[in-house]
Chain A
């Protein structure tokens, strides 16, 4: 199960990177990065997953005393939460850039924005 999730995650990362590098349209690039980010998050979760264990929530179902043997590692989950938040921030910023870029030149083709070079 974890292996499938991890493999899917890596496939998503590769698809995302490929998409971001092969599409000239800025919006498509942003979407592609979102896909890659999802892949990363999946990998993160998959690394922390342990077969046969439950979610790391301490309540009546999982008493504190048994927690170490019954729950999966909570750290990757916490990391994923943070990573998702950051991902949203960066994506929003990129979209804002896309909007402003479109307003300057009227195009979303990244190869048109090469005024600065060499």
Chain B
């Protein structure tokens, strides 16, 4: 194999060769630069391949014909080779990207670019301290040159500020180096590591100076004002290089120093890293300029990797896997985003809306964001999993919570940006059409996905890109060009086929959930046949959500469970975001869900105690004092998904603003993921005592309050879809309550709600969605009298509300019946009263659906309305049949589950003999109830028909009492503020306390970020003082070394 020294030699030679060429030979100069970079990239690539496959061994390259320490030596192992490849590949791609700029600037700029990538490669490979300094200075000088590539005049000042800071850094470093040399008699890093004890004792200050100088080169928060200015103003291709390549090189340098510094200095690195990660992410919240935001994010990510480097004492063998995963994901994602920013005309975040209409670029954008945040299936996800497990096992919980908090903030501002891109009015300036730039971005996307595959292979877990559901979802990316109806058919077929192939693998409980997710998903997807065109983005998102759900049900270990959980979260986020007004709601959904997911992650990590492969069944073997903590974390995480009261504020907007066929998916199906998690948790862990408090008791209260308040808030809605959304909070409250009762009937009732809620909520969302589609409004007071024009929708709503209100004869009554039986066997009285109370409240809002939408007088503008489209009506009619069928023979599904639950809670099972169901307290005979109610209904209906002849037709009129002045038109409508008197009495219960609470937290974070970022005054001298202050503070915190 060709010696890696040629990576340095070729760049250097190329740069000199460029100096010999004539200035106008732009094409020749550019070709030489590309060839050199392509050669170094290929060489580095060959070494990576050789080292990874074991064909070659790590090499030491000696110079000047002498052994170290008398001459400089370089080393290339697998980690170094990968970094050198990363650096040179980024250099090559940036050179391609910079084609036009380099043609204008000429050969000198190209030479500087070559020197820059050579210097960075040198930093990675060298084993000599002074040589490290030289390469750093070369990088500084070439940075100074490359900043000038930018057309932004502000870049000049940024470059000067950088040079000022780097002067300070180089002074610190040189002084440190000479005293370290004095203490150890060698400049060789390996010699120094061998003499580490001596160096850290006598030359501690010297080591500190070197260490802090290299850390300063990483541009960590808060001593990094100049770096942010560079990120903001330099050419994006150069910013990509700085963030991806220079950052990685400096990280390798820090890592080398840590082998000398040992555990004491790893602790320092951890603290500096985590402060940088959290601080920079927090500051980024207040950013509105894309490249500065990316700069903050780079600082945060590099901080994260320094943190990982600082944790290598506990990471052991997985250190390279974790650090490499985070680093490469960051490098590809960040370089990709910077390159992408070069296509965008405006600099504010909303200007990225120019990407609309470029599905490939939007896919690239989403991939880069996912890489940065560490979502599945990207390397950061695997790395995060290992990292969190090992930190949790070591009990470093403060660090862990800071880490996850920072990650949540980062996901928040990055996805907010994504929301702007998708939902804001398209920016007038189109994306730049340059073929080169698009090609470079395409390569970055490819690299990101290849890394995802590679890390999946390297990880000890199953590769997520081998999972059939995941592949099926990704396949829709490849067939995005096809018409939506074709894709819809494929999607339905896929869901059903997966159900058929996995059918035998389910236990009865899983089977219920699988039926709802897969068969139920297929029924809802029938409604999607309604949408013509290609419907870009819908199917990959929806199928990602379904893939996550499908994998969740079958998950046996915590890793698969969590990966599935994050996949369904991300898929549903993209899905919800499609709604017309859903930008803020989708974001709040995502932040809550990811927050919940991080709690789940922490719970699993604590439970696993360092073993990153942990079977879910192992949850049952946990003991005090760990078990209740695990229970608490997991339960809160799952309750975020079921929108338990307090964590519910994302739900109404997200469900109401989603598209017509998306609302039933995210309400009818997605909410069940949380319930499935809770089932899993309770089956394995049962009751847990937390400082004397029975946690299931607390859950019961939360369930009861959710039921009460969710229903109450639904009563006061004017928007039909919001009403249904709030009602879901109440329904999930019932299910939570049933689960938390921890007795047989409670669980059976929860399952009954799982099934019922899916059927009637999907049906109602479809009918209301159809009505909204026809009338063009979701406000109920603007509808009315639609019964004759939309009879099928009316029937669906009528059946739906009968079922939901829990009156005979439909299946809702079955749920109630089991609930009442369950309550008789439970000891807790007060929460039960709340649940009882919420029943009648549900009548109030359900009544409005019929009353205000279908009864009353038809509005003039609605006289020509037709029934909802066929494809919306068809699934509703299927649901009607299901509801009637399930009402008649509930035992079909439930008796198996009943038997299954007996495995865990044997007491109180029901008797399913014949058509009658018997409990300890009474019996329920669905068929006879149906018959009786049918007879009564027919009699009353006949009577009504009889007396109908005498009824008068009325004219439209407004009801305004004297002295009431109608300021707004809707105030005169009888159906507006329908329950005004109840609102007066009970309205205090719907005060948006939780909205204000979470809103205040978000405001606080933003205000803090906005105020404290003024610390970066823009003055180069102030930045230098920051740097010195940083050095002093670290010195003092380290305890004077």
Q: Which residues of A contact B (CB under 8 A)?
A: 13, 16-17, 20-21, 24, 26, 29, 33, 36-37, 40, 43-44, 47-48, 75-76, 79, 82-83, 86, 89-90, 93-94, 97-98, 100-101, 104, 110-111, 113-118
A25 and B134 alpha carbons, distance in the complex (Å):
28
- With both chains docked as a complex, state the minimum distance between the C-beta of A99 and any C-beta of chain B, in angstroms: 10
Q: Which residues of chain B are within 8 angstroms of A76 by Cβ–Cβ distance? A: 178, 181
Q: Which of these binds chain A: B168-176, B330-338, B486-494, B957-965?
A: B168-176
The answer to whether A104 and B153 touch across the interface, beta carbons within 8 angstroms, is: yes
Q: Which residues of chain B are within 8 angstroms of A94 by Cβ–Cβ distance? A: 160, 163, 167
A20 and B169 alpha carbons, distance in the complex (Å):
13
The answer to whether B1018 and A47 touch across the interface, beta carbons within 8 angstroms, is: no
Q: A40-B175, A76-B181, A101-B157 known; A117 and B134 CB under 8 Å?
A: no
Q: Which residues of chain B are within 8 angstroms of A40 by Cβ–Cβ distance? A: 171, 174-175
Q: Which of these binds chain A: B676-684, B867-875, B945-953, B1020-1028?
A: B1020-1028
The answer to whether A75 and B181 touch across the interface, beta carbons within 8 angstroms, is: yes
The answer to whether B145 and A93 touch across the interface, beta carbons within 8 angstroms, is: yes
A76 and B174 alpha carbons, distance in the complex (Å):
11
A44 and B179 alpha carbons, distance in the complex (Å):
8
Residue in A closest to B141 when the chains form the complex, CB atoms: A89
Residue of B286, B1017, B1021 most packed against chain A (CB within 10 A) = B1021
By Cβ-Cβ distance, the 6 closest A-B pairs, closest first, are: A117-B1018, A114-B1018, A113-B157, A116-B229, A86-B137, A97-B160
Can you list 15 A-B pairs with a CB-CB distance of less than 8 A?
Answer: A26-B160, A37-B171, A40-B174, A76-B181, A86-B137, A90-B140, A93-B144, A97-B144, A100-B156, A110-B1020, A113-B156, A113-B160, A116-B154, A116-B233, A118-B1018
The answer to whether B130 and A101 touch across the interface, beta carbons within 8 angstroms, is: no
Contact of A118 among B161, B167, B178, B1014 (CB under 8 A): B1014
The answer to whether B156 and A97 touch across the interface, beta carbons within 8 angstroms, is: yes
Contact with A along B167-211 (1 / 0, CB 8 A): 110110011011101100001000000000000000000000000
Contact of A90 among B137, B187, B232, B1018 (CB under 8 A): B137
A114 and B1020 alpha carbons, distance in the complex (Å):
8
Q: Which residues of chain A are within 8 angstroms of B167 by Cβ–Cβ distance? A: 20, 33, 36-37, 90, 94
Q: Which residues of chain B are within 8 angstroms of A86 by Cβ–Cβ distance? A: 134, 137, 141, 170
The answer to whether A17 and B171 touch across the interface, beta carbons within 8 angstroms, is: yes
Q: A13-B171, A43-B178 known; A93 and B1025 CB under 8 Å?
A: no
Q: Which of B325-346 contact A (CB under 8 A)?
A: none
Q: Is B405 an interface residue (CB 8 A)?
A: no
A90 and B134 alpha carbons, distance in the complex (Å):
12
- With both chains docked as a complex, state the minimum distance between the C-beta of B1022 and any C-beta of chain A, in angstroms: 9
The answer to whether A20 and B164 touch across the interface, beta carbons within 8 angstroms, is: yes
Q: Is B453 an interface residue (CB 8 A)?
A: no
The answer to whether A101 and B233 touch across the interface, beta carbons within 8 angstroms, is: no
- With both chains docked as a complex, state the minimum distance between the C-beta of B19 and any C-beta of chain A, in angstroms: 15
The answer to whether A110 and B1021 touch across the interface, beta carbons within 8 angstroms, is: yes
Q: Which of B612-630 contact A (CB under 8 A)?
A: none
A100 and B160 alpha carbons, distance in the complex (Å):
10
Contact of A43 among B130, B163, B175, B1024 (CB under 8 A): B175
Additional pairs, 15, CB under 8 Å, beyond known A82-B130, A115-B157: A16-B171, A17-B168, A20-B168, A24-B1021, A36-B167, A37-B167, A37-B171, A47-B182, A75-B187, A90-B137, A90-B144, A94-B163, A116-B154, A116-B233, A117-B229
Q: Is B105 an interface residue (CB 8 A)?
A: no
Q: Is B1013 an interface residue (CB 8 A)?
A: yes
The answer to whether B141 and A118 touch across the interface, beta carbons within 8 angstroms, is: no
A75 and B160 alpha carbons, distance in the complex (Å):
32
Main secondary structure of the interface of A (DSSP, over half): helix
Contact of A114 among B175, B233, B286, B1017 (CB under 8 A): B1017
Contact of B1013 among A48, A104, A118 (CB under 8 A): A118
Q: Is B1019 an interface residue (CB 8 A)?
A: yes
The answer to whether B178 and A47 touch across the interface, beta carbons within 8 angstroms, is: yes
The answer to whether B160 and A115 touch across the interface, beta carbons within 8 angstroms, is: no
A81 and B187 alpha carbons, distance in the complex (Å):
16
- With both chains docked as a complex, state the minimum distance between the C-beta of B180 and any C-beta of chain A, in angstroms: 10
Q: Which of B986-1041 contact A (CB under 8 A)?
A: 1013-1014, 1016-1021, 1024-1025, 1028
Contact of A13 among B130, B144, B157, B175 (CB under 8 A): B175
- With both chains docked as a complex, state the minimum distance between the C-beta of B480 and any C-beta of chain A, in angstroms: 40
A24 and B181 alpha carbons, distance in the complex (Å):
36
The answer to whether A115 and B171 touch across the interface, beta carbons within 8 angstroms, is: no
Q: Is B159 an interface residue (CB 8 A)?
A: yes
Contact of A111 among B174, B286, B1013, B1019 (CB under 8 A): B1019
- With both chains docked as a complex, state the minimum distance between the C-beta of B763 and any C-beta of chain A, in angstroms: 52
A88 and B223 alpha carbons, distance in the complex (Å):
26
A12 and B745 alpha carbons, distance in the complex (Å):
84
- With both chains docked as a complex, state the minimum distance between the C-beta of A15 and any C-beta of chain B, in angstroms: 12
Q: A86-B134, A100-B156, A101-B157 known; A117 and B1020 CB under 8 Å?
A: no
A36 and B163 alpha carbons, distance in the complex (Å):
14
Q: Which residues of chain A are within 8 angstroms of B161 by Cβ–Cβ distance? A: 113
- With both chains docked as a complex, state the minimum distance between the C-beta of A59 and any C-beta of chain B, in angstroms: 20
The answer to whether A93 and B163 touch across the interface, beta carbons within 8 angstroms, is: yes
- With both chains docked as a complex, state the minimum distance between the C-beta of B927 and any C-beta of chain A, in angstroms: 72
A48 and B177 alpha carbons, distance in the complex (Å):
12
Q: Which of B351-378 contact A (CB under 8 A)?
A: none
Q: Which residues of chain A are within 8 angstroms of B148 by Cβ–Cβ distance? A: 100
The answer to whether A44 and B141 touch across the interface, beta carbons within 8 angstroms, is: no
Q: Is B158 an interface residue (CB 8 A)?
A: yes
Residue of A13, A26, A48, A110 most packed against chain B (CB within 10 A) = A110
Q: A20-B164, A76-B178, A101-B160 known; A117 and B145 CB under 8 Å?
A: no
- With both chains docked as a complex, state the minimum distance between the C-beta of A93 and any C-beta of chain B, in angstroms: 5
Residue in B closest to A101 when the chains form the complex, CB atoms: B156
The answer to whether B1019 and A79 touch across the interface, beta carbons within 8 angstroms, is: no
Contact of B134 among A36, A82, A93 (CB under 8 A): A82
Q: Which residues of chain A are within 8 angstroms of B1018 by Cβ–Cβ distance? A: 113-118
A115 and B228 alpha carbons, distance in the complex (Å):
12
A40 and B1016 alpha carbons, distance in the complex (Å):
29
A113 and B1016 alpha carbons, distance in the complex (Å):
13
Contact of B141 among A16, A36, A93, A114 (CB under 8 A): A93
Residue in B closest to A44 when the chains form the complex, CB atoms: B178
- With both chains docked as a complex, state the minimum distance between the C-beta of A18 and any C-beta of chain B, in angstroms: 11
Q: Is B756 an interface residue (CB 8 A)?
A: no
Residue in A closest to B177 when the chains form the complex, CB atoms: A79
- With both chains docked as a complex, state the minimum distance between the C-beta of B776 and any C-beta of chain A, in angstroms: 44
- With both chains docked as a complex, state the minimum distance between the C-beta of B290 and any C-beta of chain A, in angstroms: 14
The answer to whether A97 and B159 touch across the interface, beta carbons within 8 angstroms, is: yes
Q: Which residues of chain A are within 8 angstroms of B171 by Cβ–Cβ distance? A: 13, 16-17, 36-37, 40
Residue in A closest to B163 when the chains form the complex, CB atoms: A94
Q: Which residues of chain B are within 8 angstroms of A44 by Cβ–Cβ distance? A: 174, 178
- With both chains docked as a complex, state the minimum distance between the C-beta of A20 and any C-beta of chain B, in angstroms: 7
- With both chains docked as a complex, state the minimum distance between the C-beta of A74 and any C-beta of chain B, in angstroms: 11
Contact with A along B11-26 (1 / 0, CB 8 A): 0000000000000000
Q: Which residues of chain A are within 8 angstroms of B130 by Cβ–Cβ distance? A: 79, 82
Q: Is B166 an interface residue (CB 8 A)?
A: yes
The answer to whether A90 and B166 touch across the interface, beta carbons within 8 angstroms, is: yes
Q: Which residues of chain A are within 8 angstroms of B159 by Cβ–Cβ distance? A: 97
Q: Which residues of chain B are within 8 angstroms of A97 by Cβ–Cβ distance? A: 144, 156, 159-160, 163
Q: Which residues of chain B are within 8 angstroms of A33 by Cβ–Cβ distance? A: 164, 167
The answer to whether B137 and A104 touch across the interface, beta carbons within 8 angstroms, is: no
A76 and B130 alpha carbons, distance in the complex (Å):
10
Q: Which residues of chain A are within 8 angstroms of B156 by Cβ–Cβ distance? A: 97, 100-101, 104, 113
Q: Which residues of chain B are within 8 angstroms of A111 by Cβ–Cβ distance? A: 1019, 1021
Contact of B1017 among A37, A89, A117 (CB under 8 A): A117
